[in-house]
Chain A
C-alpha cells in the first residue's frame, strides 16, 4: 500500500513539474512526433524505400518541393537513387529507434541483473563483476561496439553476418552500455539489502532469486529509468555513427546514419537537402531524448532540485 501511495505522489509531481517546464514539453512533443512517425511509417510514408519498384532512378536529386526545380510528389526532395527523402527518413527513424530501444533493453536486462546480484551477494562475485565493469568503462562505447562488430564479422560467414546485422548491432551497442545499469543497480541494492522488508523476506525463507526480482527490483527502478532514457540517446547516436562509418546497417537500408553517409557525398555538388534533413531529424531526436532524460533525472533526484 505504502509503495502505491509513493508512486502516486511521484506521478503527480512528475505531471506538476512537467507542466511547469516548457523546454521539456517541446522536447516531449518532438520525441512523440518522431516515435509516431516511426511507428506509423508504413501507413503515412508516401513510398516504401525498401520496395525497389516504388522508386525510379530518373527521379533522383529532386530538390525540396518548395524550391524552383522541386516536384510536388517529393515534399523534401529525393536522394541519389530517386527515393523519396521523407519516406526514407520516416523508415530510417523507425530503424534507428528499433535498434536504440532494443540495445538499451539488452543493456538494461544484462546490467541490472548483474548489478543486483553483485549488490545482493557481494563478496567475490561482486568484485569480479565490478572489475569487468571498470575495464569496460575505460573503453569508450564506440570502440567496444566497433570491436564487437569486427569480431562477429570474423566469426560468421558473410551472408550470415548480413542477415543478423541488426542483432549484431544491438548486441554491440548493448554491450557498450550495460555498465551504467550495473553500477547503479548495485549501489541501490546495497542500500535496499539492509532494509527491513528484505530481511523479512529472507527470514520467510524466500529464494534469493525471488527476493532480488520481486522485492528489490521494483524499489530501485527509478534511477534505472533515468539511465535508460539517457542511454537511449547514446544508443541512437551510436547506431547512427556506426552506420555512418559503414559498419552498421547495410548501406542500402535507410537508417539515419546511412542516409547522412549518402548525403555527405553530395554536399560538394550542392545537393544539400540529402544530408541536411536526415541530420536534422537525428539531432532533434537525440536532443529531445536528452532533455527528457535530464528532466527525469531532476525529478527523481530531489538533491538536484
Chain B
C-alpha cells in the first residue's frame, strides 16, 4: 500500500515538473518580459539593467530552478495586465469556480447515475429510448448554446433567475461563498445547470455501458440462474460492481468541468478562474496563463492521485495485481 502510494506520488511529482517546465518556457520565451514591463521611452541601458535585475541573463537552468522555487513558495509574480500579484488574483477567483464545478458535478451524478442504471436495465423501453435520444442531442449541443437557451427561457422569458454574475456572496476568511445567501444560490442555478448537463450525459453513458457489461458477466447470469429475484440481482450484485468506475468518472469529469467552466463562466460572466484565463489569453497576459496552467495541473494531479488511492481501497483486484506492488 505504502509502496503503491509512494510510486504514484513520484509519478505525480514528475508530471508537475514537466508542466512547470512548460509553464516556465511559456513565461520566459513567449514575448519579452522586459518589453512588456517598461514603456517605449525607457532607454536600452535601463532595459538592460532591468533585465539583469530580473535575472533574465542568468543561465536557463538557474532561471528555471528559481521559477520553480518561486512557485513552491507561492510567489507567482505579477500580471502584465493588472500589475497585481497573480497569487491573489487566482485565489480570489478560485472559490467561484470550485463552487460552480462542485454543484454541477453533483447535478451530473445525482441525475446521471440513476438514469444510466435505468437505461441499462430497460434496454428497449420507450422511456429508456427517449432518454438515450435526449443524451445524443445533449452531447451535440455546445455548452454555450445550452447556456444561451437557459438564459433566454428562465432569464428573459420567465424572468425567474439572474443570468449573470455571482449575486450576493458571504466571505469566510478569503473564501467567498454562494451557498449562504438566497441571492447567491439563485445566481448559481443557471450556470451550474449549463455546466452540469453535458457532464450528466457523459456520466449516464458511462454508467450505462458499465452496468451493461456487468449484466453480461457470468456471475450475474449465475445469480439469475440461482433464482435470486431481479431486484436483488440488479441492485445488490450488478450495481455494486458497476460503482467502482464511478469513482473514475468523477476524476475524469473534473477535467471536463474545468475546461467547460471557461465557457460557462464566459456566458454567465461568472467571476471565476476560467474567465480570468480567457481574459489573460485575449490580452496575452503570459504570466497569468502559465500560473493558471500550473494550478490546473496541480488540481488535476491531486484528484487523480486521490482517485487512484480510492481505487486501491475499493477494488481488491487492483490490490492483488502484481504491478500494484
Contact = CB atoms under 8 A, between A and B. Distances in A.
Interface stretch (B56-64, B65-73, B137-145, B176-184): B137-145
A140 B141 contact: no
Nearest to B260: A142
Contacts, number: 101
A177 to B, nearest CB: 14
B140 A140 contact: no
Contacts of B156: 267-268
B284 interface: yes
A88 interface: no
A237 interface: yes
B148 A264 contact: yes
A298 to B, nearest CB: 13
A97 to B, nearest CB: 16
Contact of A142 (B155, B259, B280): B259
Given A233-B140, A283-B141, A150 B263 contact: no
B257 to A, nearest CB: 9
B262 A138 contact: no
B278 A140 contact: no
A283 B152 contact: no
Main secondary structure of the interface of A (DSSP, over half): helix
B263 A287 contact: no
Interface in B102-161: 136-137, 139-145, 148-149, 151-152, 155-156
Interface string B68-110: 0000000000000000000000000000000000000000000
A193 interface: no
Interface in B240-287: 255-256, 258-260, 262-263, 266-267, 277-278, 280-282, 284, 286
A150 to B, nearest CB: 4
Nearest to B300: A138
Interface residues of A, number: 38
A290 B140 contact: yes
Given A279-B148, A282-B142, A290-B139, A138 B284 contact: no
Contacts of B152: 267, 272, 275
A57 interface: no
Contacts of B170: none
A305 to B, nearest CB: 15
B239 interface: no
Nearest to A280: B145
B31 A287 contact: no
Contact of A154 (B30, B263, B266): B30
Contact of A245 (B145, B148, B278): B278
Contacts of B296: 143
A181 interface: no
B289 interface: yes
B30 A286 contact: no
A263 B136 CA distance: 25
A245 B280 CA distance: 13
A138 B258 CA distance: 12
A105 B14 CA distance: 33
A148 to B, nearest CB: 10
A124 to B, nearest CB: 18
A263 B148 CA distance: 10
Given A267-B151, A286-B142, A290-B136, A150 B262 contact: no
Contact of B258 (A140, A153, A247, A287): A140
A153 B284 contact: yes
Contacts of A192: none
Given A241-B143, A283-B142, 20 more contacts: A138-B255, A139-B255, A142-B260, A142-B262, A143-B262, A146-B278, A146-B281, A150-B289, A151-B30, A153-B284, A154-B284, A154-B286, A233-B140, A241-B263, A245-B266, A245-B278, A246-B278, A264-B267, A275-B148, A282-B142
